Structure 1
Amino acid sequence: MPSEAGNGRVVVLSPHPDDGVWSLGSGLARWAPRQEIELLSLFAGDAPAGLTRARAPEQRWRCFSTPGQRRAEDRRAAAVLGYGCSNLEAADGALRLDQGGGFAHASLQSLFLDSAPGSWPAPEAALVAALQGFLRPQDVVCAPLAIGGHVDHCLTHRLARELPNRVYFYSEFPYAEQLSQQALQGHVRALGLQLQARDIACSWPAWREAALCYRSQVLMLFAGQGRFLQALQRHCRVQGDTAFCRIWSTRAM
């Protein structure tokens, strides 16, 4: 439990709606039972110009549902878990435009970066200011480990590392499914971190109900509920009605 939070919140930095809930589920309420928990999506803004360009047939991979629909899914999931829900309104990497009006990332593959943090882009000043304005000094932050290298996850991780707040980390579902334990340890070392993991027993039915609120992403990434739930059960190591949420710390918790 993050005792240093005092009267502060636990703020989950979720690159997109779904990342925080899919990865951490109902575990945060057990980990921090006396703290207010806030899901904060960084890259869930409306991006009207990007949406217009994404209607072209060859660009449909960029947007299976609108940002507004995804934010609504996030609010429903947060309500299931009793968490707050906010959005910093930056555009999803797939919908971001460059200064010339073209897509900042030309292909799906270009959304995924090298694993070396030194090669990652710097967050825009406006996003840094928005995050700093949202956080309170006593808030504790839970941030992604940028597993998989999606540009928005890398930006979120880099932002978290620059904060004065106490930061914990989580491994992102479904990207973490692709890594062996050895590969995960190598990824953490590449980030320059020495982490300790803690597993928190929590409610599988609540995690499942909240996770299924993100219907658009379940269909886009897994083509159906059955395959999605099988993968999620592996991620949170379900035993009966109990799931396990893993949170990483740079010191003993």
Structure 2
Amino acid sequence: MNIMDLLPAGEPVLFVSPHLDDAVLSCGALMAAVADRCPTVVATVFTAAGSPPHTYAARRFLRDGGGGSAQTLYQTRRHEDTEVLSQLDAEPLHLGFPDALFRRRRFPAGAALVLPELAHRYPTYRYDIARGRVARGDRPMIADIVTAMSAAAARARVIFCPLGVGRHVDHLITREVGTRFPERVVYYSDFPYDQTSAPDRGFVARHRLTSWKWDVGIAEKARLIRGYRSQADGLFPGGVIPAAPEVYWSAGR
């Protein structure tokens, strides 16, 4: 596929990112390639945290991110995202929905103070967030996300959304947003999770998706990824960012 045929010069492009790094992790090389020809917006969905008490999984995430408060970490992450996207001439759009680690359900306040896991929709990472089951209480959020990014989506010639490789619930919710734009959506393979996990073959088959790769500028993408300083070490503990081609999935193109 010739991506430049898909993205004519001057046509706006929208990348929808679950978290404050996912679009660049998965699409940074392609974004760099089209930066000088297409006005680009990166709409990041889950850009906020919640107040304590936090679950063990959330506390561990905060420690890995520098040990500060949740509000401080997410302020730092939003700043990092703005800095990195400025290098790509991309406009950041932070939608302000809370990360899965911090989303709560209705539960008596006293019990939640004793065991915060009781009050959260996803009490653990491994058995809840990464299991691939979107909580019933989160399902109405999909329409709210579509509304929040409606102006950017209306202008975009192509809308890039995650394929949900790795089955993180926030990625699956964002993938579902893409299904609302069947004529314009291109799904991207979620890096680095696609290095150890396979695509959802059922989703690929239902939407009749075929894959194609982009490998121009992959080495340079590592510099952009390292701009997410609060996250890079946790994602790549050995400091080596694999130079893997970006993978995209689309239908009828």
TM-score (norm 2): 0.78
1:248 matched to 2:244 = no
1:27 matched to 2:26 = no
1:31-88 CA deviation, whole Å, 9 max, x = no partner?
A: 575211221110012x342xx323x767412434311111111112112222221111
Aligned to 1:128: 146
Alignment partner of 1:148: what SS?
Answer: coil
Superposition RMSD in Å: 2.8
Range moving further from structure 2, 17-26 or 188-197: 188-197
State the 1:123 CA deviation: 4.1
State the 1:193 CA deviation: 2.3
In the alignment, which of 103, 106, 125 is matched to residue 96 of structure 1?
A: 103
1:217 matched to 2:231 = yes
In the alignment, which of 18, 30, 36 is matched to residue 15 of structure 1?
A: 18
Mapping 1:81-160, distance limit 5 Å: 81-100=88-107, 102-109=119-126, 110-114=128-132, 122-124=139-141, 125-160=143-178
> Residue 218 of structure 2 aligns to which amino acid in structure 1?
W
| Percent identity of paired positions between Structure 1 and Structure 2 | 25
1:124-165 CA deviation, whole Å, 9 max, x = no partner?
A: 143232122442254420010011110100000001101366
Aligned residues: 228
For the Cα contact (< 8 Å) 2:132–2:169, is it kept in 1? no
Aligned to 2:42: 39
Alignment partner of 2:103: what SS?
Answer: coil
Alignment partner of 1:74: what SS?
Answer: helix
1:189 matched to 2:202 = yes
For the Cα contact (< 8 Å) 2:46–2:95, is it kept in 1? yes
In the alignment, which of 69, 79, 82 is matched to residue 86 of structure 2?
A: 79
Aligned to 2:220: 206
2: CA distance, partners of 1:89 / 1:151 = 17
Alignment partner of 1:127: what SS?
Answer: helix
In the alignment, which of 132, 140, 162 is matched to residue 180 of structure 2?
A: 162
> Residue 251 of structure 2 aligns to which amino acid in structure 1?
T
For the Cα contact (< 8 Å) 1:31–1:200, is it kept in 2? no
1:97-143 CA deviation, whole Å, 9 max, x = no partner?
A: 2233622211112102348x9x9952414323212244225442001
> Residue 199 of structure 1 aligns to which amino acid in structure 2?
K
Aligned to 2:114: none
For the Cα contact (< 8 Å) 1:144–1:170, is it kept in 2? yes
For the Cα contact (< 8 Å) 2:43–2:92, is it kept in 1? yes
Aligned to 1:60: 59
State the 1:199 CA deviation: 2.4
1: CA distance, partners of 2:45 / 2:229 = 20
State the 1:22 CA deviation: 0.8
1: CA distance, partners of 2:124 / 2:101 = 8
Aligned to 1:239: none
For the Cα contact (< 8 Å) 1:8–1:136, is it kept in 2? no
For the Cα contact (< 8 Å) 2:11–2:157, is it kept in 1? yes
Alignment partner of 2:212: what SS?
Answer: strand
2: CA distance, partners of 1:31 / 1:195 = 23
